[in-house]
Structure 1
Amino acid sequence: MDEDILGSPEELLAKQHRREKKDLQAKIQSMKNGVPKNDKKRRKQLTEDIGKLEAELNKKQEEELIQLKSTENTQVEEAVKVEEVVNGMESLGVDGDHEKADEKQPRATKAQKRRDKKAAQEKERESRIAEAEVDNLLGARHQEGLKLAQKLAQRQLQIKEIASDGHCMYRAVEDQLARRLTLSLKALRSRTAEHMRGHVDDFLPFITHPNTGDMYSAEDFEKYCNEVDHTAAWGGQLELRALTEVLKLPIEVIQADASDIKIGEEYDIAPITLVYMRHAYGLGEHYNSVERLKEPANEQDS
C-alpha cells in the first residue's frame, strides 16, 4: 500500500536524481553569478569546477542505480526461494487449511483482474526503464561522451554534432574550415581522391581487403578512390592524411580513451580539430566537429 502511494523504488530514485540535478544547476548558476564575465582566468577555473561537479553527480547517481538494481535482484532471488518452500509444503498437504480459507474468499471480478493486470504491466515497464537507465549510464557511448566532454571543457570546447551519413569526417572538416575558407563537401571528397590517385605509393600499401587482409591491386585502389570521390564512403586516417596535404594544415583528432592525434605536424599553423567517437551510433565510429564552450543557460531563459 505504501509503495503504491509513494511510488516504486525506481520512481523515487528517479525523482531524487531529478531533484539533485536541479539543485546542482541552481548551485552552478550561483557560482556563475559570483564570477565577473570579464575575469577570464576565474571563468576558466569555474568551467573546470562545474565539469567536476557534474561528473561527481553522474558517478554518484550511477552507483545508486547499480545498488538499486542489485538490491532488487537479491529480493527476487529470496522471493523465489520462499515460493519454492511454500510449493514444497503444499505438495505435502501442509497448506490444506489455507486452501480451504482461500475457497471462502470472494472471486476477483473481471474489472479487478484488469486492474491487477494493468498494475503488473506498469510495474514491469518501470523495472525495464530503471534497467535501461543503468545500462545507458554504464554503456560505452555514455562513458565515452562524459570523457570527451571533460577533455574538451579543459580547452573551453564542446562537441558540435555532425550528421551520421557516411560523410561525417568530411562534414566535420568542412565545418572547421568555415572559419578560414570555404570548401564544399563535394570539393573536399574530390580533392582527397585526386591527391590519393596522384600519390599511389603513399597510400596503396596501407589499404587491404577487410575480409581477407590481401593487399589492394592497382585496380582495387582506383575503385577505392572513386568511392571516396563519388559516394558516401566513410573516411578515416588515410583520408585525413590526404586532406592535410591538400589543405596544407594540420588536423587534430581528439579521442576519449587514447592520446590525441595530430596529423600534418609539418605544417606550422594552428590545426583544425575533430572529435573521433568509437561508440557514437549503432554503426560504430563517427566524427564530430568542435565549437567554443557555451555557458549553461540561465533558468530564466529556459
Structure 2
Amino acid sequence: MGFIEDVGLTRREDELVVHMVFSLLIRYTESNPGAPSLPELLQQASRLDDLPLVERHAGTIFSSLVKHRLITSEGRSLAGGLSNNLALTAAGRTEGARIRQLQQDVAARRRACRIALLLWLYDDDSTRDDPAMATIAAFFGSHLSFFWGEQFTIKDVAAAGRWLREHGFVKGIEFWGGEIARAQITTKGVDCVERDEGNITAYIERATMSGGQTINVHGPNSGQIGMARDGNVSQTQQQGVDIEKLVEALNGVREALPVLKLEKEDESALTEAMDEVEAKGRSGALTGEEKKSMLKRIGALIAKSASSMAPLVQGGLEQLIS
C-alpha cells in the first residue's frame, strides 16, 4: 500500500467502496448480530442509493475483505455478488475498532483531510489548461473526500483549508466565517505532493533538516503551474465591477452544480441567470447595483438546494454582493 492508502484515503472508486462497506459493516455489527448481505447492510444504513455503485464492485468488496482477513470466506454465496454475507473475523473486529477510533478522532480526521485536500487541489490543477482557483465545494464529489469510507465534514475541510493556507501550501479566497470558498495549490504544495506524496509531516521534517530550505524544480514560472500562482494577475474592471472576480465566482458555482443537485428547472434558471450576468459584465453594461441584484437572484436559486454544500457555494458570492 502507498502512503495515502495507509492514512485511509484513496483516489480509486473500487478502493473507496471497499472502505465504505467495511465502515458500514463496523457500525452494523455494533448493534446487530449476524452477517448481512450488501443490500441488507445498505438498507440498515439508509444508503440504498449507493446500491448500483456497490453492485459494480461487489466481487472486489468480498474478495478484498477476505484477502485482508477482515471477513470470513464462509459467507460466499453460490449466487455471488450481492448475495455474499459479510461476517467479521476477530482481526476484522480489531481493525474495525481502530478505524472507528480514527474516524472519531478530530485531530486524525483533520490531519488526513489536509492531505486529501492538498492532493485534490494538485489533481485539479493538473487537469486545467489555465491555472485557476478550484471550488472547495467540488471536493465533496471526489473519492479523496472520504476518510476510511466516511466523508469529511464541512468543518473538517474548512479547518484543513485554513491550515494549508496559513502554512503556505495553498492560497485561497475567504468568505463569511473565515472559511475558504476557493483555493489553489502553491509551488510549496506541489513540491510536497511530488516529493512526499502529500505527506505533510515528512515534508516539514525534510525542510527542517535542511535548515528550512526546500528546492523547487518546476522550470520557468510559466505554463499551467507557474502562471498566476506567483505572478501578478491583471483584472478588467467595468463601471466599478471587477469582471475577473465575478467570472471566477460564477465558474465556482458552475463547478459545484453536480454537488448541489438542484431540480432541473432550478438548475436551468440558475445557469441562465449566471450566463446573463456574465455576458452583461463582459460587455461593460453591468452596473454595481445591477450586479448586486442579479447575484442575489443567483444566491436565492442556490438556496433552493437541500445539499449541505449550498452555504459553502453561496459564500463565494457573498463578498461580491457586499
Structure 2 length normalisation: TM-score?
Answer: 0.18
Q: TM-score if structure 1 supplies the norm length?
A: 0.18
